Structure 1
Amino acid sequence: MSCASKRRHAGRRRVRVRTVSDALPLPLPAPPAAPPQYPPPDLTPWLAGNCGLRGVHHFESGQPGPHTVVTALMHGNEPSGAYALNTLLKKGPQPRQGRLSLIFLNPDAYARYNPAHPTRARYVEEDMNRLWRPELIHSHHDSLEMRRLREVLPVIETADLLLDLHSMLWPGPPLFLHSGQERNHSMACHLANTLTPSPLVIRDDGHQDGSRLIDYERFSTQGGQARACLLETGQHWSQSAAQMALLAVRQFTGLTDATSTNTQDMKNALSKKTVVKTATVTDCVQAHTAAFAFVRPYDSAEIIPSAGTVIALDGPDEIRTPYDNCMLVMPNFRVRRGHTAVRLAQPAEQTL
């Protein structure tokens, strides 16, 4: 279901209603700020790449197998993925089968990153993770991010398995997002099964702000084979986010035998029956006004027990939970008009 369809269904389920209660909006909080808990990695040795593409490193095993791709720095102020790829590159990946590509997606935005202002430098001209729609890519639309996207697209077009590393402005537990198809859900669940703490796995079929890399047709087309998921590793500058990114990359490449990492422990983990916490996004709540505000601080993945609970005010509208046990996914407490304020999801569990 597209986000436009979700909004139409949301209206029928009374997610958004005219204000009728005495709920008061939460005063607009300042963005979180803290010194990074680890040094932002110096990517100078890797910016030239090793295959003729800036910031792209490609490794061949000489043996048949999948093309495994890990991407980082879709957003320049999310250094945990860069930390993970920097660590892996220093050790010199040696694929055992297939091919491995490691991509620093937006090095120009990262060059603007200042640890004193860790919320800035998300992008240079526009959000690269809203541009992955074929008709837009092949149009005359132009920006630094779009030019970079077109530059790395040939690598993405041959990816069989892709992990896109991100982190969050507001604190919250790690979580996987994937788009639609069961093959993406299965990959995310099996990868979550190898990580500690085990991230949530969230099915999110679309983003009204634009198309993400995980929404790109290669990974989201029904009947296709290529798989992709996005990992939100934690809060941008936290050490735990950096460690989660590194562990996820090692497990992801190990599960596919894409590196020489010993995979026996991972295979043993996958052979055990494990319950993975999952959720399905039903509604993407968009801010219709600049006055959007939550009524209290919420944690990401917090579950609201009762349907009809007012969670936010948006000008003349109340935002209410449409069903019991509604999960709030990555609430944004300083959302701009027209952008996603929170995703509402139905939690579940899956036994592997």
Structure 2
Amino acid sequence: MTTLEGAKPGPTAMVSALIHGNELCGAIALDRLLSTKFSPDRGRLIVAFANVAAFSRFDAAHPYASRFIDEDMNRLWSRETLNGTRKSTELARARELRQFAESADFLLDIHSTSLPAPAMLLCGSREKGRILAAKMGYPFHVVADIGHTSGVRLRDFGAFNNGASAKSSVLVECGQHFDKNSPTVALKSIVAFLKACGMLDDTPEQFPALPRRRGQKFIEVSHAITIRSDGFAFSREFRCFETIAKAGTRFAQDGTREIVTPYDDCVLVMPARQPLRGQTAVRLGRYVAGGKD
């Protein structure tokens, strides 16, 4: 944990990386940021390397084995779980990070994907998340969803998911885990985030420039397909953001249950690399008008 103070007063923002120990791009980006002696123009920036214990076990020969030690750290962020008596490596670390997350007005949680996918922001289901994503303007794909049935993400923790609170958060997926461009996407996302929060006026010269702003593509998720059996399989290999034209098209089988598209022009968001019982296999959504910056 590191805190960087701006020269002028302003909001408190938190940028977190390594919620999953094998998602390296955010840690690389934050290391680059810290190596430049960066500080925001305004406010206070909390830099968090979250699941360092899992990261310390990273082995390039087995790159998916260090996602976590005991359990997925991005499913632990309900107050009931944090206040409970259950113990695990990830839960202990989440309890340490909790006070910092609660102190933040804005949060950017940096991730990457198991399969190749375009960079995207996950802004949650509240309008304030869409507004923050639109203010950032980068990356260009924005997904509005409610998360997972298996647990609460850091992005959805506490006031961040409360429509009555001004606190806002986004999660950024920077592309596939080991894409050499993913750390650059992460660093650009940090710059876009701090600008959107009013904490940074200009891109520091040692950082990569943000691309010229263009219209973002907003996808509103209507269904998260949770796997019920050990016999789940997609009908074929699907790409992230692949669109299925017709409602009622079968695209997966979950035991005896056929999974079909609920409407025309259904967008598949982040199909799972290894679908497991109780986990999210894929999100289903459609393109909608975006938030207003």
Same fold (TM over 0.5): yes
Pairing of 1:118-267 with structure 2 (within 5 A): 118-191=63-136, 193=137, 195=138, 198-259=139-200, 261-262=202-203
Measure how far apart 1:69 and its partner are: 1.0
CA contact (8 A) 1:73 1:104 kept: yes
Paired residue for 2:218? 278
Paired residue for 2:21? 76
1:98 aligns with 2:43: yes
Paired residue for 2:234? 294
Measure how far apart 1:190 and its partner are: 2.2
Deviations 1:130-168 (A, max 9, x none): 000011111112111111111111111110111000000
**In the alignment, which of 268, 280, 284 is matched to residue 328 of structure 1?**
268
CA contact (8 A) 2:192 2:210 kept: no
In 2: Cα distance, 1:324 partner to 1:241 partner? 32
In 2: Cα distance, 1:89 partner to 1:342 partner? 35
Paired residue for 1:50? none
Q: TM-score, normalised by structure 1?
A: 0.78
CA contact (8 A) 2:111 2:172 kept: yes
CA contact (8 A) 1:201 1:276 kept: yes
Task: Extract unaligned runs of 5+ from structure 1.
Answer: 1-55
CA contact (8 A) 2:134 2:291 kept: no
Measured on the aligned residues, the alpha-carbon RMSD in Å equals 2.1
Deviations 1:24-76 (A, max 9, x none): xxxxxxxxxxxxxxxxxxxxxxxxxxxxxxxx010112522010111000000
Paired residue for 1:29? none
Larger Rg: 1
Deviations 1:326-348 (A, max 9, x none): 00000014211111100111212
CA contact (8 A) 2:126 2:163 kept: yes
Aligned to 1:123, the other structure's residue is in SS state: coil
CA contact (8 A) 2:140 2:215 kept: no
Q: TM-score, normalised by structure 2?
A: 0.93
Task: Extract unaligned runs of 5+ from structure 2.
Answer: none
Aligned to 2:216, the other structure's residue is in SS state: strand
**In the alignment, which of 34, 51, 54 is matched to residue 89 of structure 1?**
34
| Percent of paired sites with the same residue | 36
| AA aligned opposite 2:22 | N
In 2: Cα distance, 1:165 partner to 1:101 partner? 13
Measure how far apart 1:110 and its partner are: 0.4
Q: How many residues align?
A: 290
The structure, 1 or 2, with the larger RCO (C-alpha pairs under 8 Å, 6+ apart) is 1
In 1: Cα distance, 2:268 partner to 2:133 partner? 20
